[in-house]
Amino acid sequence: MKQRATFFIVLILVLGSALGGIYGSQTDGRTGKWSPGLQKISDLLDTAEKYYVGKVDSEDAIYLSINGLLRQMDPHSQFLDQAAYANLTEEHEGHFYGLGITIQKIEDRLTVISPIEGTPAHRMGIRAGDVIAKIEGESTKNITSDEAAKRLRGPKGTTVHISVARQGIDELIEFTITRDEIPLLSVPYSFLLKNKITGYIGVRNFTETTEKELTKALQELTQQGMTHLILDLRGNTGGLLDQAIAVSDLFLAKSKLIVYTRGRVKGSSQEYYASEDAQYESLPVIVLVNHGSASAAEIVAGAIQDHDRGLIVGETTWGKGLVQSIFRMSHSTALALTTAKYYTPSGRCIQRDYTKSLEDYYFLTDEEIKKLPHGESHKTSAGRTVYGGGGITPDVELHAVETTKLFDNLAARRVFFNYTTKFIAGLTPLGQKMLIKDPLSGKVNIHRDYRVGEDILVDFKDFLTSEKITFDEKALESSAPLIRMAIQGELYADLWGAQEAVRSNADDDPILKRAIQLFPDAIALMKMQVLTTEKPQS
């Protein structure tokens, strides 16, 4: 890779979901210049602590004032307190130490949403739908999910005792589980679709292990007969720049420009080129994107689109073209500060306008997104017109199936999850017929080719009635296809894991069906590539 930077540059998408790496160090103090202003803040806090009618938390007040200052700059510069910085570091390193379960408070019950395959919790038999009633003998009724997660995590090799309530079993089940390293997979899903030649790979984010995980998935699928690839970046909020570059390099010929950055300070302006050949440069590729695809995901989509290397399919992406650098601060905190803009090979900066309000920036409706104006026009390697500003516009626009009000309401209340839990426990009429015998293991007489049909919908309707969940008959009928897919996904996830859940619904996904039909266009586009190396303009 030519002109590699001497530090890592971080890409961060939105508040509360920062992903990225770290470079730089704490800046030198400038107390002489800033002393008068800092003294005013100190005097204000001292006065508030002494005389305010309520209790003043000075640390919270300082953190809020810092973020208030940063919000005046741009939406992505932010102060990371200890918890946020620890979460960011954990996320981009791709692992943590704990049990390997996803938990959520449903009403007042600390519920296991899913165990991660191969982890201590999964090996011990923890199941989706289990309720963790006690941690080390203490009730979980009045603690939050975050507080519970802190108690369940800990150093590798240590143990934690939990008491679990399970559907169909009267007494609590006791588990003593030894904590271990839990991988946070960047590439959680990879498999061949039904036609046996199209590979599907989902990339969740860009962490230190993304390129390694993706390469492994590509190798395995190639051995299984893959000749076409669907790379799913929908909902991928970004992450490490160097990993976005490495992923792009897998599909681009050597010396092709991938991305370049421009900033004010020394070292922030860089160009990054593909450095490897003989990888997957000739594999037909379709990249799926949506409005949740951002940052590093947009770098990959932009590089592939600008070089006419593959077809970009889906919805216009988020539109984040700002680069954040993470500076370590004192007390295990950090500053994520915007230090550059990035540009796709054709010269596009795809950053969406954020000058109106944060509300406009973060909460646009689908219709408002469609009406966003294009920025300056640019040309791809083969001469196609693409635009800057407002994200990556797909080559073929496809939108997700619109949901119904009833479906959204049931999903938000996790009704499909709760139904599946009861079904597997044999606590619904159909579930009781299909239960083998053992509610402890929850084994059911279902094979992996099982598809949710009308019998499940009847059983689900009875479940809604028994749970006193009101519904309109016509609305339920019109929502039936969505409900079938939701229940099937929950069922497969519980019985065979998350990848099988994704695989089971893939063949029914209208976007994937349409994407497969577009491969002739993707192949034709590849033949249009112009073998030149672009030089970015300063």
DSSP of 99-152: --EEEEEETTEEEEEEEPTTSHHHHHT--TT-EEEEETTEE-TTS-HHHHHHHH
Q: Which of 295, 325, 479, 504 is catalytic?
A: 295
Tokens of 251: 């599909």
pLDDT at res. 516: 96
Q: Is 53 exposed, middle or buried (0-12, 13-18, 19+ CB in 10 A)?
A: exposed
Tokens of 416: 């499909």
Tokens of 202: 């989902």
Set out the domains of the chain in order of their start, with CATH numbers.
95-183 (2.30.42.10), 189-321+342-399 (3.90.226.10), 405-507 (no CATH)
pLDDT at res. 81: 86
Active site residue 295: yes
In the three-class reduction of DSSP (H, G, I as helix; E, B as strand; rest coil), residue 303 is classed as helix
Cα gap 302→383, rounded to integer Å? 15
Q: Which of 130, 232, 248, 320 is catalytic?
A: 320
pLDDT at res. 243: 95
**From start to end of 243-333, where are the E strands?**
257-263, 270-273, 285-289, 311-314, 322-328
pLDDT at res. 373: 76
Task: Please name which of 290, 286, 289, 354 lies closest in space to residue 320, comparing C-alpha atoms.
Answer: 354
pLDDT at res. 536: 61
Q: Which of 130, 232, 242, 306 is catalytic?
A: 306
- Using CA atoms, how far residue 262 sits from 19, 21, 342, 407, 471, in Å, is 21, 19, 6, 45, 55
Amino acid letter, 412: A
Cβ 270 vs Cβ 262: under 8 Å: no
Cβ 81 vs Cβ 63: under 8 Å: yes
H-type alpha helices, 183-226: 210-223
Q: Tell me which DSSP letter residue 209 carries.
A: T
pLDDT at res. 32: 62
pLDDT along the chain (538 residues), means of 10: 35 33 36 72 86 85 83 88 84 86 90 89 90 95 91 93 90 94 92 96 95 98 98 94 96 96 89 92 97 95 97 94 89 90 94 84 78 85 90 93 92 93 89 70 75 93 95 94 94 88 89 96 86 51
pLDDT at res. 34: 67
pLDDT at res. 443: 67
Active site residue 306: yes
pLDDT at res. 441: 63
pTM score of the predicted model: 0.86
pLDDT at res. 27: 38
